[in-house]
Structure 1
């Protein structure tokens, strides 16, 4: 055999080896892709099963009558753990109902429910039945507040590297959970102890969160349209919302009466209250003969006064007014 023929056969063998290696690589890629698809499908099925299981479990908790609600609320205020547990369990469906309204905001339903449950627990701890509110009315504000804060934390950090987002969410969630247990806002030392992390790491993440928070628009800012989110969900009627919206509307009207006439008129026209349609700053200015800037200033003053009134009652103005639009 000539040297050239021998070289050619060697070259052919090398080509065949390369082709086989490429084929093996492509086959491995296909197997990996199929495996990833199977894992994704399995994870989705698992999440769906977990959601269905949770919904079926809470369905067995009976709702409280108005009389039972007052009875258990009074006991819970005195430190009765059994009454506290009963109040929480009988209102878990209310959390799911509210959570579903936020289902397209970037968090899975069970995550929304988990955050809403923290708000429900807080509501049970602070609810005073002697003030005349139904518990569902009071709890709705707390549930919305915790869910909206969780969504805000998720969406405003989405541009960070994914590992940073996950780490930050762990710290923020731990802080919220500790806030339910402690009689003060959790410190960096509290969070570090709970997570078994160095205090320096906690402080670093908290500073990051503060920098991110600084870009958020404050309530009473210059948003073009703000609507009061008190529209009932007609698709899901139930005993838990029979008086909820009426109570809320009456309460808001009462709080508006505490403002001066100009603040009351501006907020009523801006947020669609007292028979008015929700309007822009420009429209309100034309209707009452003021400049757009002056209307905005009055709105800020009125919302600040409302915030002070609600804070004294353990409520949050962010859970009543939606200024995202």
Structure 2
């Protein structure tokens, strides 16, 4: 929480004030814990920072997607096969809820939950049929209210999903994951707390989208908590760049986040995406990235040249021995073979005992140590 407070204080110094949305963006876990959120806001106000909340306003909590309301309601320019635009058009036709309408739907959902619990506790024969029908009617009414609350806030899902474009997950998939988070928010929302539903739902929507990006957005999966930390790093980098007028250095960013430089460098390395070796190279016909990447597992041209010269010189030196001596040395040391051979294996090939092979090998090695022959291999020792 100390790190979140520092980030919020610096943001307040930059803008002069904060909104509740700013607080939840830096410290999203507070959305599910109203006591923690209240404590955080109180701590900011003690520092003289004005925090605007949305509990007492009837204005909608989310900006209309695509800018002005008319941009959503007029789609003559949209192709009929554009799935995203058709979905946006459908969400635009659903009016936003006033505070009273939102509370009314939330109460109907809460009554339906209570009716469902009572219905499950009923022992057959203890209640009359009329009472069961009344409870069932409340449950059905709650389902309708749930659908209405979800549908009225689909525009909020689109607004949140737009912030995560370009993270490796298609826009429609982001919306779908956000809708799942919206459904969870409807199930867990407690209107008695006094918060607007959109404020509460934003955290659940964001969690669903962030988890989807962590699971699907990268070739190598990054844990959800790491995605949140990376998001905080990028946000701090943007705010610091706006404040100082240039791209911050790694040291400045580490000081801003109160992290060790090594830890920050490790976090930045996590953000790197793997690139396919088959990726085309711009400006080159049929050229792929793999053509320009060194294969460290293969020997270099210099190493190949060195080995060829050594092989030629070895053949020259072994040519000064008898054919049998040269053959035995090649087998014993694996020269031109797939592996070195033991004395027993070489003896079987020549029809000699292993002791005789050892004697021939020793004699051949002594001859190779003579200065006239050793001089030829001195440059390769």
Give the TM-score taking structure 2 as reference length. Answer: 0.33
Structure with larger Rg: 2
